[in-house]
Structure 1
Amino acid sequence: MGLFYSPYYGFGPGMIFLLPAIILAMYAQAKVRGTFNKYLQVSNRKGYTGAQVARAILDRNGLRDVDVEYIGGYLSDHYDPRVKVLRLSPQVFNGTSIASISVAAHEAGHAIQHGVGYVPLTMRNTLAPIASFGSQAVWMLVLGGFILGWTGLIDLGILLYMAAVAFQIITLPVEFNASSRAIEQLEIGGFITSEEIRPSRKVLNAAALTYVAAMAVSIAQLIRLLLLRNRRD
């Protein structure tokens, strides 16, 4: 079963909240791809690659134990705090565009957060496994509760899903802070000129919108679950 359909209630209650959130998520995905692709065609004036920028920012902040690695995929860039590895996609690792160095600096920002013990990041990392399980198990538990008539099973599913919602909420300050650190590090390190700051911000702001949309979808889903639960009663 998908997130939108219930065999008991058709499209069910709560779709009035969910549909706008889904539309926002679709817009955010289109926005980040469009902005990234646009500035992927604009070279930074000093010719740095994303890998060079990431390495320099990490070293400047005393994070020489964090490795920078190449990873396949499109917009697959991320920092893995478990093994202290910053992974960059082909377009970012080898790219010399504004988009490339902006994304690289953002991921380096996450490594800096980890290095200084940034509390929201620690909270997000702690919630991650519970949130992942909750988002995968929620509908199995909820539908199982409806079929078996066990309200407690529905409540368990909703409780686990709340961890996923909390994860999305705490992700916002983590991502915005990483972007702020990125711009600061790009300026301090002399990787971008004053004219390049604005396009760099556009790349990072477009990416941030996807996290806002993800939070909106998760909250709307929670509202829908609660309405389904109340309807059961």
Structure 2
Amino acid sequence: MTITFVLMIAVFVATLFIQFWLQRTYARYSRVANSRGVTGEQVARAILDAYGLHNVRVEMVPGALTDHYDPIAKAVRLSEPNFHSPSAAALAVAAHEVGHAIQDAKSYAWLRVRHSILPVANIGSMFGPWIFILGMFMGATGLMNIGIWLFAAAALFQLVTLPVEFDASNRALNILKKMNFLDKSEMDGARAVLTAAAMTYVAALANSLATILHYVAIMTSQRE
């Protein structure tokens, strides 16, 4: 068993732990109602209006933790539980997604970079591993190299995603505090939820980097 394969397993186990941490943290603070009794939808709308983003809609989508901002439709989409819930977790997620809308409105540099490399990253994540595997079975290191570079584009997207997500979370926490939506103890809960969520992006990047190292090790051994 190679060192890179062991690293991949270690990162995979860490990723599972982080996912469990997020789900547990989110579940915990989903049971903590904010003292003002406002819902995720109401907070998202209030923040958007306060920042002059009246054209951005707040919509409900099915599922759990399916919350996202759609820059094309100009819509903050909240999962059904967070849309209706007055919990600290719901407000944290809602404010985070509004943070992305504010980034979009202000042409946040890292968000623009992420959008620009998204098409290549999608191609890389979809076809990179398959091209590498094909090259491996054919003994064609050239194909393997192409697969690695394509997959690296997906890893680059994940790297650029980090400052985008951390900035959105920082904006969310500052706005929730500034607009007095949460008291101190509730703010601690919101911070815990957003920290756990941010770590999932770190884990995704670590997983991709470990995979690339493993691919490189396989290609090197074939050359030898």
TM range, smaller chain: over 0.9
**In the alignment, residue 128 of structure 1 is paired with which amino acid?**
L
**In the alignment, residue 102 of structure 2 is paired with which amino acid?**
I
Please give the residue correspondences for 1:180-219 in structure 2 after superposition, counting only pairs within 5 Å.
180-219=170-209
Q: Distance in 1 between matches of 2:216 and 2:15?
A: 22
Q: Distance in 2 between matches of 1:232 and 1:106?
A: 46
Q: Distance in 1 between matches of 2:53 and 2:213?
A: 42
2:59 match: secondary structure: strand
Provide, for residues 100-121 of structure 1, a one-character-per-residue CA deviation record: whole Å limited to 9, x for no partner: 1110000000111111111111
Are positions 1:131 and 2:113 aligned together? no
Alpha-carbon distance, 1:16 to partner: 1.9
Are positions 1:41 and 2:20 aligned together? no
Q: Distance in 2 between matches of 1:142 and 1:39?
A: 43
Q: Distance in 2 between matches of 1:12 and 1:78?
A: 38
Using structure 1 for the length normalisation, give the TM-score: 0.92
Contact 1:12-1:228 at 8 Å conserved across structures = no
Alpha-carbon distance, 1:52 to partner: 0.6
Q: Which residue of 1 aligns with 2:108?
A: 118
Q: Which residue of 1 aligns with 2:147?
A: 157
Alpha-carbon distance, 1:61 to partner: 1.1
Contact 1:39-1:203 at 8 Å conserved across structures = yes
**Between Structure 1 and Structure 2, how many residues are aligned?**
223
2:114 match: secondary structure: helix
Using structure 2 for the length normalisation, give the TM-score: 0.96
Q: Distance in 2 between matches of 1:110 and 1:20?
A: 32
Identical aligned residues as a percent: 41
Please give the residue correspondences for 1:78-117 in structure 2 after superposition, counting only pairs within 5 Å.
78-117=68-107
Contact 1:70-1:90 at 8 Å conserved across structures = yes
Are positions 1:145 and 2:140 aligned together? no
1:14 match: secondary structure: helix
Q: Which residue of 1 aligns with 2:63?
A: 73
Alpha-carbon distance, 1:188 to partner: 1.6
Are positions 1:31 and 2:44 aligned together? no
Alpha-carbon distance, 1:169 to partner: 1.0
Q: Distance in 2 between matches of 1:195 and 1:148?
A: 59
Q: Which runs of 5+ in 1 are unaligned?
A: 1-10
Name the stretch that deviates more: 80-89 or 191-200: 191-200
The Cα RMSD (Å) is: 1.3
1:65 match: secondary structure: coil
Alpha-carbon distance, 1:227 to partner: 0.8
Contact 1:13-1:228 at 8 Å conserved across structures = no
Contact 1:73-1:89 at 8 Å conserved across structures = yes
Q: Distance in 1 between matches of 2:11 and 2:72?
A: 32
Q: Which runs of 4+ in 1 moved over 3 A?
A: none
